[in-house]
Amino acid sequence: MAIYYNTTEINGEELRLRMEKCNSQNMKVYELAKEVKTLWRWKLIELYEQFFGERMLDAVASRALSTLVAQGYLTHTGEKIRSDKGAYNVIYQVNENPPINPVLIPKKICVEMKFTDIDGKITLDMDAMSDEFISKMGYYDNLFNN
């Protein structure tokens, strides 16, 4: 297992205590990223096992990195690195100006299927579904513009 240089000069026990204070897996990943400054999926998997003693699945690592990008904690560097299995991994870096109150922006906006009964015939209630979709879009538009 590779050992990574501790860029914040926090000793192992202090770092471990700080990691234990993280209340979510994403925040644990963010704390790891802050230590090494750049991170990619397979490096995250190795570090997570090294610090927390459990192996992180590829899909879980990808989800955590995507979520941290969506929240503004990490950014893409525009570079990729080849993993030991040959696939390329996107390299992420810690955002120097992390958000104060991060908001997770979803990759897609969905609405529930709604139906109406008109004279015994069941049809989609396009108006209700459209109203809900527009309302959700308005909410996210407000986040970006205020």
Q: Are 30 and 44 in contact (CB under 8 A)?
A: no
Q: Are 89 and 76 in contact (CB under 8 A)?
A: no
Q: Are residues 53 and 119 in the same domain?
A: no
Q: Are 29 and 64 in contact (CB under 8 A)?
A: yes
Residue 88 lies in a domain: yes
Q: Are residues 130 and 76 in the same domain?
A: no
Instruction: Indicate yes or no: pTM above 0.85.
Output: no
Residue-range definition of the domain harbouring residue 134? 115-145
Per-residue pLDDT tens over the stretch 56-71: 998 999 999 998 988 8
CATH number of the domain encompassing residue 69: 1.10.10.10
Per-residue pLDDT tens over the stretch 81-125: 988 778 888 999 999 988 877 766 676 788 999 999 989 999 999
Q: Among 96, 79, 97, 95, which Cα is nearest to 43's?
A: 79
Residue 59 lies in a domain: yes
Residue 104 lies in a domain: no
How many distinct structural domains can be found in the chain? Answer: 2
Residue 139 lies in a domain: yes
Q: Are residues 141 and 74 in the same domain?
A: no
Q: Are residues 90 and 132 in the same domain?
A: no
Q: What percentage of the chain exceeds 70 in pLDDT? A: 79
Q: Are residues 19 and 89 in the same domain?
A: yes
Q: Are 76 and 66 in contact (CB under 8 A)?
A: no
Name residues whose C-beta falls within 8 Å of residue 1's C-beta, 6 or more positions apart in sequence.
46, 49, 50
